[in-house]
Amino acid sequence: MQLNCEICHSLLKAADRQQEICKDCSEIERTEFQKLKRYLIKKPKATILDIKADTTISMDLVQRWKRQKRI
């Protein structure tokens, strides 16, 4: 079980441990994921490197979504 937020590494509240990230980061994650989805609609074949070059989305988040197979 995750005790610290995967993104900002702050200590997680018991209720947030399932999510592996804290409330603040999950807000940010939601916004950033929308941003990435819009980007991938325009550039469906984009690689991680393209995402890094073309957007401001944090690579920590991108790696996390990859691991979760959301992208």
Backbone angles phi, psi at 11, to 5 degrees: -65, 130
Q: What are 46's two structure tokens? A: 């984009």
The CB-of-44 to Zn ion minimum distance in angstroms stands at 30
The CB-of-27 to Zn ion minimum distance in angstroms stands at 10
Would you say 43 and 35 are in contact if contact means Cβ atoms under 8 Å apart? no
8 vs 48, which CB is nearer to Zn ion?
Answer: 8
Q: What are 25's two structure tokens? A: 């980061």
The CB-of-53 to Zn ion minimum distance in angstroms stands at 25
Q: Which residues bind Zn ion (CB under 5 A)?
A: 5, 7-8, 22, 25
